[in-house]
C-alpha cells in the first residue's frame, strides 16, 4: 500500500491514531447524547413558538413582568411575561423572590402546557434592584425596545476613563 508511511515507527503511530479515533468519537457522541436531557434553552416570549418550544419541554422563559398582569390566588401566582413583541402567560406555585414585581426582568424555568400557558417550576430574580437577565437585555436591545432606568435611549458605547490606582500606575475602567 503506497499511502502507508515507509517507517515502521510512523506506521505504528498511524495505526494507534486510527484505532483511537473511533473510540474517542464514540465517547464524545455518548457524552453529548447523555447530556441532551440536561440542556435548558432560553427563549423570550416572541421566540417561544409551538415549534421552537414544544409542550412539555423544559425551557427558560425570560422577559419583563407585564404591568397589571399579576394575579395571586393563595400559593398560585399567574402573570404575563413580555418582551414588548409578544406575551406569554405564566403560572407559578410557590414563593416568589422578594424583588418580583411588575416591570421587573425575570427568568422562569418550566414548560409550556398544551394550552400554551407556561407552568413555571422556578422563578429567578437577582438581588440587585436593577437586575435584568443578560439574555433579556440583549434581546430587548436587538429589538430596539431597551429602555434604561431614566427612560432615555441607551448609550451607544461605554466610555473609558484613566484613573490612578493605589499602586501609583494608571488603570482603565469602564463607566
The answer to whether residues 132 and 154 touch, using CB atoms and an 8 Å cutoff, is: no
pTM exceeding 0.85: no
Q: What is the DSSP letter of 36?
A: G
Boundaries of every domain in the chain = 41-125
CATH homologous superfamily of 41-125 equals Nucleic acid-binding proteins (2.40.50.140)
φ, ψ of residue 16 in degrees (nearest 5): -65, -45
pLDDT (tens digit, 9 = 90+) per residue, 55-77?
A: 888 899 999 999 999 999 988 99
Nearest in space to 16 (alpha carbons), one of 27, 31, 5: 5
Any known ligand binding at 131?
Answer: yes
Residue tagged 425551557 (cell numbers): 59
The more confident residue out of 129 and 97 is: 97
Quick check: 101 and 47 in contact, CB under 8 A?
Answer: no
Query: Comparing 34-38, 66-70, 165-169, which segment has the lowest mean pLDDT?
Result: 165-169
Q: Which residues contact 89 (CB under 8 A, 6 or more apart)?
A: 78, 79, 80, 116, 117, 118
Is residue 127 annotated as involved in ligand binding?
A: yes
Per-residue pLDDT, 166: 44
- C-alpha Rg value of the chain to the nearest Å: 25
What contacts 42, CB < 8 A, 6 or more positions away? 59, 60, 61, 62, 107, 135
Amino acid at each position: 500500500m503506497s499511502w502507508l508511511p515507509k517507517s515502521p515507527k510512523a506506521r505504528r503511530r498511524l495505526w494507534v491514531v486510527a484505532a483511537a479515533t473511533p473510540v474517542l468519537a464514540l465517547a464524545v457522541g455518548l457524552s453529548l447524547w447523555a447530556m441532551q436531557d440536561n440542556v435548558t434553552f432560553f427563549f423570550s416570549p416572541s421566540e417561544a413558538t409551538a415549534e421552537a418550544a414544544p409542550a412539555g419541554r423544559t425551557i427558560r422563559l425570560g422577559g419583563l413582568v407585564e404591568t397589571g398582569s399579576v394575579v395571586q390566588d393563595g400559593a398560585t401566582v399567574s402573570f404575563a411575561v413580555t418582551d414588548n413583541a409578544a406575551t406569554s402567560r405564566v403560572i407559578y406555585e410557590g414563593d416568589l423572590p422578594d424583588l418580583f414585581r411588575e416591570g421587573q426582568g425575570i427568568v422562569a424555568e418550566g414548560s409550556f402546557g398544551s394550552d400554551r400557558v407556561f407552568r413555571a417550576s422556578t422563578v429567578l430574580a437577582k438581588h440587585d434592584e436593577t437586575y435584568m437577565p443578560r439574555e433579556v437585555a440583549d434581546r430587548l436591545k436587538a429589538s430596539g425596545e431597551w429602555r434604561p432606568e431614566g427612560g432615555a435611549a441607551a448609550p451607544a458605547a461605554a466610555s473609558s476613563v484613566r484613573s490612578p490606582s493605589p499602586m501609583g500606575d494608571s488603570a482603565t475602567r469602564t463607566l
